[in-house]
Structures are given as structure tokens and as C-alpha cells.
Amino acid sequence: MHEDSAGRPALRALARAKGLRIGVAVSAGPLQDDPVYRAIIGREFNVLTCENAMKFGPLRPSRDAFAFEEADAIVAFAEKHGMAVRGHTLVWHKQLPAWLAKEWRNGDAAVDVVRGHIHTVVDHYQGKVFAWDVVNEALDATGKWRNTPFLRAFGPDYVKMAFHWAHEADPAAKLFYNDFGADGLNRKSDAMYRLLEDLVRQGAPVHGVGLQMHVTQREPPDPPSVAANIGRFADLGLEVHITEMDVRLEAPVSKAELEDQARVYRHVLAVCLEAEHCDVFVVWGVTDRYSWLPQVFPGAAAPLLFDDEGKPKSAYYGVCAALR
């Protein structure tokens, strides 16, 4: 088992022993510039997700150009360190390029652009990306269709179309529907269940559901409820990945809150380990320093497994405890 100088086994080794793969979202900037960030990833994880680099906007500076450099660099790092890559994400209403706005007006042109995008990107990473978040966040908090440009241009069938296009480009890739706020049993996850049930019934090439798991220490997910939710997707024949876990605290952060946070990580991971069809667990960032959360939720603090300096937190040891 791979150990560091302090004799601490890496998460990836502990996870492997449990038949789980443990991943992290990675950004190209710090991966290139910050040796601490790079070292933690290389040591601890065996799945990478590009935090932004594979999204539509970042990949498509213009209609006729693809910018694969940053995503390719992350994939190359993964290959060098024996890690698998989750592709994130093909169809999402955020981080779309500005030039796309005028394409929606012409339905046929919009279909060409989106189909072409999915084909080119999935083909580019064929054999390198084992699972794709094909459609991200298509439902709103009440479980209705989110009002996105995709919905307005193509109607609700866009979800099914996207899965078919991704499958055409890489028949071996596992294709996921990914969303947040649907981690346990609730109105939104009920709607997500009906959506997936429908896709399965129609024979769409969908293989899994991603539970993002952006949660708070104040209102943590209820483990039995998450277990029941995973169970019903498994009964549809689907895999479940925990795709973007972070546990938000509020500044200033106390030691007790950090301990609570560790418990939240431990409980969710324990549920995933217990479940038969949950074998990938991904955290949404490496060190607290680069987390996306403080920019989006003012006052949000310290959501990840490693602190600003890259030291493992209680949350890290909570994950270790679940893996032991």
C-alpha cells in the first residue's frame, strides 16, 4: 500500500481495497502552478473530473474552434498517474459560450451545433473518459424542467437526444445524468427518478445518475434517505456516482464544525460503500484555497478535505475512517 513519509496510506489505496474509486475535481491553473495541489492529487486520488475545462464555453471559444489544451493537460496528468477521468459536462445551461446565443433562434442550426459539439468532444476523449455527465441540472428545485436554452430550442426530448449523440460517439462510455439537491428522497429526486425511469423505458443509452452532493454541515443529508435514493436508481439498473461532494461551513469556522463536517463526509461515503451500485466518490476540489464556494455563497468556508495549505483536515480523516 502506497504510504507517505508519515506512514499515512493514500485515500486511493484505501478506496481500492474497498472496490471504490475516489476522485477530485481539478482546475488546469493550479495543476500547472501549485506543486502542493499537484502532489495531493497525484497521491490521494484515482479519478479526476475537470472542474471547468470540459464545459461547453471553455472548450468552444468560437463556433469553428475547439480549445482542448487545458482539458488535455488534465487528462494527460490523469494518465501519467494511473487515474480514470469523468467527463463533465456536455449539456448544461451554465458556462455556455456567448456566440451560442444567436444559434438558438434557428432550431436546425442549434441541433447541428449541439450534436456536433457532443460528437466532437466525446470522440476526442474516446478511450480516455470512462464516464460522461451528458446532461447536467435539467430539473429545477421543484422537479420541473429547468427553463434553459436547450429546453426552449428542442423541448424536453433534448435530454434523450443528448444521450443518443454521446453514445454514437463513444459506445463504451458510461453516460450519466447529473444534478444537485436530489441527494436524498425529496421532490426533486422524485422527479429525477421519473425522468430516468422514462429514459430507461425508452431505451435511451443512460447508465447512471450523478448525485452532486453539494451540502452544508448545518443541514446535512440524511444517510438513510440517501441510501434509499441510491437504491431506487440501482433498481432501475443504473449506477450511482457521488460526483461533486463538498460540505460548506460558514466563516469563522470552529473546531467543532470541522468535526461535524468530517462526520458528514464519513456518513455519505459510508452510504455509498454500503450500496451495491455506488462505486465512484468525487469531491469538488482539492484544497480549501481554490474552492468555488466562497465566490458563490458569501461567507462559505472550508468545504474540502485539505486546508488552504494542503494539510489534511478532520474531513480527510473522516473519509479515511469510512474507508477502513
Cβ partners under 8 Å of residue 17, min gap 6:
1, 323
Beta carbon nearer to ligand XIL, 68 or 317? 68
Smallest distance, Å, CB 255 to ligand XIL? 27
Give the CA distances from residue 2 to residues 12, 91, 149, 295, 323, in Å, rounded to whole numbers and listed in that order: 9, 38, 47, 35, 15
Smallest distance, Å, CB 300 to ligand XIL? 12
Beta carbon nearer to ligand XIL, 135 or 262? 135
Smallest distance, Å, CB 108 to ligand XIL? 28
Report the distance separating Cα 30 and Cα 292, nearest Å: 13
Task: Tell me which H or E stretch contains 154.
Answer: helix 149-154
Beta carbon nearer to ligand XIL, 92 or 322? 92
- Active site annotation includes 51: no
Smallest distance, Å, CB 191 to ligand XIL? 18
C-beta separation of 90 from 66 below 8 A: no
Q: Which of 111, 216, 230, 215 is nearest to 164 (CA)?
A: 111
Paired with 287 in beta bridges are 306
Paired with 47 in beta bridges are 23, 84
Beta carbon nearer to ligand XIL, 14 or 91? 91
Interface residues with ligand XIL (CB under 6 A)?
51-52, 136, 180, 212, 244, 292
Report the distance separating Cα 204 and Cα 32, nearest Å: 38
Beta carbon nearer to ligand XIL, 136 or 189? 136
In the bound complex, which residue of the shown chain has the CB atom lying closest to ligand XIL?
A: 292
C-beta separation of 154 from 196 below 8 A: no
Smallest distance, Å, CB 112 to ligand XIL? 25
Beta carbon nearer to ligand XIL, 247 or 323? 247
Task: Tell me which H or E stretch contains 147.
Answer: none
Given the residues 137, 219, 250, 276, select the one marked as catalytic. 137
The terminus-to-terminus CA distance of the chain in angstroms comes to: 13
Query: What single DSSP character describes residue 208?
Result: E
Given the residues 244, 259, 276, 309, select the one marked as catalytic. 244
Report the distance separating Cα 72 and Cα 41, nearest Å: 16
Smallest distance, Å, CB 94 to ligand XIL? 7
Give the CA distances from residue 80 to residues 2, 15, 90, 179, in Å, rounded to whole numbers and listed in that order: 16, 19, 25, 30
- Active site annotation includes 244: yes
Task: Tell me which residues are annotated as active site.
Answer: 137, 244
